[in-house]
Structures are given as structure tokens and as C-alpha cells.
A and B are shown apart, each in its own frame.
Chain A
């Protein structure tokens, strides 16, 4: 059925529309490419993660407790659904590196003396396992060692529990439980230089931490790995180990590192569908404009073909061929482009996540799928034209088309509006309204483009907003000092006397179970002093909220999880102390963006755990301009100090981690989104230019300069795109809100932030894109052989 001569016609028809074709192909290529690229990245990353978790046997759950004898491990193993468990010691440590004034926080984790496969196993990056030659050997997490220039053979000083130890570094390693290692002091970004994980021989760690023959962390796997099954297993374990002071139970997929990567992958999966669909959808619409125009131009050809016996099927196949050609070419370009995106994005992810073996693989099935999707979209791009061609009667088709309708458009019925406007605007408005499909496509493409750009730029502001909110509006301390056990008032008074300290504020952080009927959440409640100044939770109007004497202040997200509102009561059970369940009213809600939060008065919380006036976190404000050097020296010597966080550092770390990557991603997204608008504008201009060559000629004969002619053409473009931009702003705002609700996780809530400045910026970018397209149109008008256009019969 496919005629070779007609194929030749297809090729020439397309070649004579190179400009439109290129514009269209650019959009198709980005659409397919981003689909293939992101899908492939998703597969590779997901695959690498899966291989890593499986091979190094990431646990399914984790239980923290005070101290449990080793024989309990066997008992837990016999619980239903538990497949394997491992008891280990996990302890906060402070490291003293020779080149650094400040003590460095870290976690020490016990590992078997000799290498045997265990849950949460290590992948050695350099050096070796413990040699046994020395008792105090350590394997460091690789990124920490690298960031501090530590190599196997070096020694480091660590304050373990109450004694300083000199540890010999024998190796460096990575672990599946820390693919994205966020310091527990909070934040969103890893800080490899300032937070380390130390893997120590089991017995040595047990002895140094008062855990001989015991463990304080249980990790394990289950047979049924559904969330529900794991949760109920955790309940069993908790009641079994209750007397050993269970402090926390968690599924591994709730822990920061695992969850962060999982959330990221989920976001990628969604993007890999939505973004390509937008691009290919717009491409199909633009193609309908282009092919539709081509087919009307070829009316008489179609009539002739029909007259000499080509049927509708043959004609349909012929014009579908344009779709196949564009789809196939776009598909091939898309595969090439997708391959590039694939490797570029993977490179980025490789620096982001500590997962071995993130390598690009070739996925032929994705190529086929991408090609098929593109072909389908491209064929959709020809339907309007084909419908028109199929309906043409041969006799009618061989006549010239009926003269362009001289009907008035609706606006002309409003004389007050219509009469005073110039003929240019009349021409423009009539062109707009007489080609409703084309105008609608132009507007839609612009709406999508504007919306995507505004959303992308606003993402920067969302991050800035969160940073400012968390690190400037809510927290005001310079240092956060974490203590091993709750201490009395003296500690804060003592700290206040140290060099440079201007203010110390006591806090008590207690892990609690919050329950409202069937809804439960285990999280820390932070007890604040009555005149809290260094941390000031804010209500939805950004006003500091006083912490009530009784009851809780929850972050909105926590209230959501627990299905409570202000005035409701919650059951609260602290995981330390008497561990009795009490009820507490929800007194107010606050906003937070990083992690979950619940606040109470420190005395209230103390009573809850049967203490008097203890605190386990001290917030420190330094005198302005004072360096923290001497303070650090003092803190390093205190065994009760287990963590030190620096607000400025956390801030700059997040900024460095996300700011850099975001810049590149934003530039790319804005560029690609701009291509939609640019391609659409150029295509519309080319199509209307080809329809109106004679008009251009007429105007040129009358003495219009190319620039004056351009003004008439541009008018249409600017009019439609202005409408598109305005609606695009709306779409952008909508997208920002959508992202805020869809992409928010427990770790990170995305605020919906729209700055007026960004709206202006987006508008300016769009105007630039439109302007740039007009320059091309201008060159085409200048080049147009208008004299010839005038002398052919219509």
C-alpha cells in the first residue's frame, strides 16, 4: 500500500519545512530523551540500591534499647516472622582530630572481630578488616576518612563513653544503612567532614561502653517484609524486651538514609512520567497545526490522488507516514539524548549517594518503549490533518479552496472596542479567532512553558525559605550540645561560665510514643524552658508561640499523621523513665519544614519521665564575634557530651549540597521548558507565514519595511503568548502547590513559595524567548521572495 513515489513526496514535503521540523523535533527529542533518561536512571539507581541492600543484607528493622543481655537475641530470633537478628552496640562518640578545634560527632558501631557475614555488612573501600594485632582498631566510614584525609595506618582520638582512646585506622568502608548519611543533629545534607561512623571490634566496644555481654541495638530481618508485618513484629519485640528499656523501634525504611533515597526514587519515577508527557503532548498538538496546514495546502494534490484512484486508506497511510517519520526521527534523537541525560544524571547521583556500582546500563526495552510512545504521539499529531484529507471529495478538492471566510468575529460586535483599533490589530485578532485550534495550541504551549519555568525557579525559593525558616527564624543558637544522660541545672550554669558563652538554654529531648486511637507515631518531644529564646517555634503567621505549661505543641505534619487538631488529647508514653501512658492536650500547632516536631514545657516533660529539672540538650549562644575555640577545647574533655552541632555549619552544608546541584538542574529545566515555548512560537509563525506569503508581499509592495511586517506577525505571537504567560503564572502557582503537597515527606516539607520577583523573572524569560523567536521570523520575512508570491494565482 505504501507508494514509493508518495514516500518521495513525504520526504520533500518535510524537507521544505525544515524550520518547523527542527522546532518540533527539539520538543519531541527532549520529551523522549527525558523519559528514557529518567527512567533509565531510576532503573539503574533502584537496581544498584537493591543489589547493595541485598548483597550487604540491610536489616528490615532496628530496635534501640538501654542494655540487653546477649541471650535475648536468641529469644527474639524465635519470635514469629523474625528471620535473622543481630545485636550490636551503637554509641555516640566524640572525635578529636588534630587539625580541628571543634570536637566531631560520630557514631560507634560494633562489628565482629573477624570478618563474618552479618546484617548491615560493610563494603571495604580501603585497608582491611580488624587485624587483631591491636585491640583498638577502627574501620571508618569512607567519606569521613576521605573528607579528613585519614588513611589506614593513621591513628585517631575518640572519646568513648568516658575514656579517650587512641584508635588505629585499619580500613575504610561504606554501609548500606548509610547511603545518605545525615548527622543526627539534624539538617538535610550529609556533612562527611564533621560526622563519622566508627566500626569497632565488638568486644572492645562492649567493654568501653559498659555493655559487656550485652547489646543496645537490635537489627533484624523478617520473613514477611510488608510494613504491617514488620510493625507487628516490632510490637512483639518491644513487649519481649520491654524491661531492657526500649528507646526506639523503627522499620529500616523509616530511617533517614533509606527513606531519603526511596523518596528521591519515587520523585524521579513521577517526573519520568509527567515531564515527558507534557513535552510529547505539546509536540503532538504542534504537529497537528503543522500537518493540518500542510494538508490544506495540498488540497488539490489530494483531490488528484483521489481522482486517479487512491483510496482514503492509502491517503491516510501516506499522511500517517509524516507522523511515523517525525516520530522515528524524534525517537532516535531522543534515544541519543536520553543516553546522555542518563549518564549525566547518574554521575550526579553517584556523588550524592554512597551506593557502589551506580553504572549506566543499556535498556533496549526502554528504547523500544520510548520509540513506541513517540510514534503513537506523532501519529496523534497527524489526526486532524488526516480527518480533513479523508473527508475531501475529489471533485471539490481539485477546485481552489473556498475563499477565506469573511465572517466577523465576535469581538466586532462590540463597536466601542472594535472601531478605534488599528487595522493591524483587526488583522491580528481575526487571525487569532479564525484559527482557534492553532491559537489554543500556542496558548497552551506557552502556559506549560511558563508554568514549568515559574515552578522550577520557585523551587529555589522553597529551599531558601525552609533554610531561613529553620536556621534563622526558629533557631537562634550557635551550638547545640547533646548530652548522654539528662543532667541537672548545674550543667548549664557551668557551661555559661565557659569562655565566650553568652547564653545557655536547657532542653530536654525525650523519645515518646504519641497515640490517638489507631494513629501512632514514635518521635522525640522537645521540652523547652518557659522563656525560650534560642529556639522559638512559630505558628502559621510566623509569630512565636509560647509553650503552654501543660500539653503539647505539635507541628502541622505530626497533627496530620495523628489526625488530631487543637483541643484534642493524645496519649503520650515516654520511652525512658517510668514509661507510663498519660494524656496530654494538643494546645497549638506550629509549622516546621525539616523533620517532625513536638514541643512541651521542659518541666512538664520532666514530670512525665519522673525527673525533676533535668536537661539533655544545651543550646549555646556565643558573645557576638567570639570564636568558639576555647569552648570546644573544654567540651572535648567532657565525657557527658556526645554531640555538638553548629547551626551555621548545618546551614552551609545544606546550601552546598543542594545549592550546587539545584543551580545546574534549574538551568537545564528552564532551558528545556523554554524550548516548548520557542518551538511552538516558531512553528506557529512559520505556518502563518507560509499561509500569508501573499499578504507579506502585498504589504512589502505598499512600502512596508520588513520590520513593519514583522510587527503584524509578532502582534499575534505576543497577544497569544501574553495570554499564555498570564495563565502560565496561574499554572506555575498551581504546580508549586501541587509539588508542595505531593513531594513533601516526613523529612522535608516543601513549602509553596511564590515570590513576585520570580513571576517577573519568569515573565522576562518568556518575553526573551518570544523575542528571540521573533528575530528568526524577522529574518524569514526579510528573506521571503514576496515578489513571486504576488504573481501566482491564488
Chain B
């Protein structure tokens, strides 16, 4: 793994300051990182360190206060709302801690939501099959367990064939066994479908499964480590 992979998205000295009335809350200060195409990047940091803020910038859901973000050379920091929306639609798949499934749609229909507007989508049933839920396709979120719901949300994230899969504490609300299933699934998608995965966690036990591990503290990267030998998901202990 010595040869340098292509950089998919580059964050340069990005900062984000939230204005809360009179007070400025710096959520991100001068953070820089290159995300390589096809890697499984894990970002670890304590609560409030700026992980979600960074992921939202990468995912085109927000713009930095300063610094730049470029996706394959395109400057995201100055994209209009329209272009950011398009970017999210075409390049990004998002997985949240709280699934965010639409409660009035079945599993399959939740996946169709993403497909409906996508350029080059998968077959929705194929996405469902990839996450192993083919026999629950007709169930509503309320009829599914947390882990199953998270798998539906992953199916929805990959259904539009994005290059970049952003996961914000995807196992935050799950127990160990279910978490392992979900992580294993993400690993598989990374390996087999060549999706670039950025996964946030404040659980350092998970960190070992990534190709690289970035430690974030107080809105900056403290260190970014190459992990030449990722731990197989089954062997993770916490």
C-alpha cells in the first residue's frame, strides 16, 4: 500500500465558527486532511471536538467559515445551494446515528426515495439485498430493529451510487453485535464496491478497522495515522 492513491476530496485549513448571538463558537479551526479515493477513513475524537461539523462540510451540507474544500479539484466552499444539493445527490451517501428513515415509507420505499432523483442509481431491491434485508423490504421502520433500520439507511446511502459514504456514528445507538454487522457491511461496501468511506466515532475501539485513523481534538487534527493492517471487524472488542 505504498503507492499514493488519488485524492478524492481535500480539506485545507478549514474552519467553522458558529455564531450564537454575541458569542462565537469555533467548532473547527484550521483543519486539513486529504481523503483518498477508495480508503476507509476513521475520524475519532471526543464529544464536541468538531467531527460532525467536519463531516457536514465534506458532505456539502454546510460551508466553511474559512479555508477550502475541493472535491476532485472543484471548490466546494463557494458552491451555491443549488450546486451543493447536486453534489450531495450525485457524490454523497450519508448514514446517520439516528437512521432518519421516513416512517411512512417501507424499507424498499425509503431506498426508492434516493433512487428517484439519482442519475445512475442501483436497482432498489439490489441495494436492499446488499444489506441483507430482502425479506424485510416491505416493512415499515417501526417494524424493524435499530440495526435493521441502520442497514436500510446504508442501502439508501449507496443506492444512488455515490463515491463517498459519510457515516456519523452509525453504530452510536446500537449494541455490540449489531454494530459489528453494520461495520462489517460498511467494510464490505468499501472493499467490493470501492466506496470511499469516512466514518466518525468517539469509540476508539472501532478505530482499528480503518485504513487510516484521524484524531481530532478541539476542532483540529491532532494526528493522522496510516493503519497498514486494519483489524477485521469480527475481532473488534469494546
Contacts and interface: CB of A to CB of B under 8 A. Distances in A.
Interface string A427-443: 10011001000000000
B88 interface: yes
A58 to B, nearest CB: 68
B90 A406 contact: no
Interface in A68-120: none
Contacts of B88: 700-703
A787 B113 contact: no
B70 interface: no
A314 B86 CA distance: 51
B82 A423 contact: no
Contacts of A701: 59, 61, 88, 94, 100
A399 interface: no
A403 B142 contact: yes
Interface in A403-426: 403-407, 422-424, 426
Interface in A482-517: none
Contacts of A431: 104
A611 B116 CA distance: 90
Interface string A380-410: 0000000000000000000000011111000
B187 interface: no
Nearest to A422: B116
Contact of B117 (A403, A695, A703, A791): A703
A152 to B, nearest CB: 76
A793 interface: yes
Nearest to B153: A698
A423 B85 contact: no
Nearest to B168: A791
Interface in A165-201: none
A426 B104 CA distance: 8
B82 A403 contact: no
Interface in B67-90: 82, 85-90
A426 B156 contact: no
Contacts of B62: 787
A695 B100 CA distance: 7
B102 A427 contact: yes
A566 B98 CA distance: 79
B133 to A, nearest CB: 15
Contacts of A794: 98
A695 B160 contact: no
B142 A423 contact: no
A790 interface: yes
B141 interface: yes
Contacts of A694: 100
A405 B140 CA distance: 8
Nearest to A426: B109
Contacts of A679: none
Contacts of B61: 700-701, 787
Contact of B139 (A403, A406, A426, A793): A406
A717 B75 CA distance: 39
Contact of B85 (A422, A426, A705, A787): A705
A742 interface: no
B102 A698 contact: yes
Nearest to A402: B142
Most buried by B among A405, A430, A701: A701
A694 to B, nearest CB: 6
Given A426-B105, A700-B85, A703-B89, A404 B142 contact: yes
Given A423-B105, A704-B117, A790 B100 contact: yes
A423 to B, nearest CB: 4
Nearest to B61: A787
Contact of A403 (B52, B89, B103, B112): B103
B199 interface: no
Q: Pick from B61, B105, B113 the residue with the most CB of A within 10 Å.
A: B113
B104 A427 contact: yes
A790 B102 CA distance: 12
B44 to A, nearest CB: 19
Given A698-B113, A703-B87, 20 more contacts: A406-B106, A422-B116, A423-B105, A424-B116, A426-B105, A427-B102, A427-B109, A430-B104, A698-B101, A700-B85, A701-B59, A701-B88, A701-B94, A702-B94, A703-B85, A703-B117, A703-B160, A704-B117, A705-B85, A790-B98
| Shortest beta-carbon contacts, A-B, top 4 | A703-B89, A406-B140, A403-B142, A404-B103
6 contacts: A403-B141, A406-B143, A424-B116, A426-B104, A431-B104, A698-B101
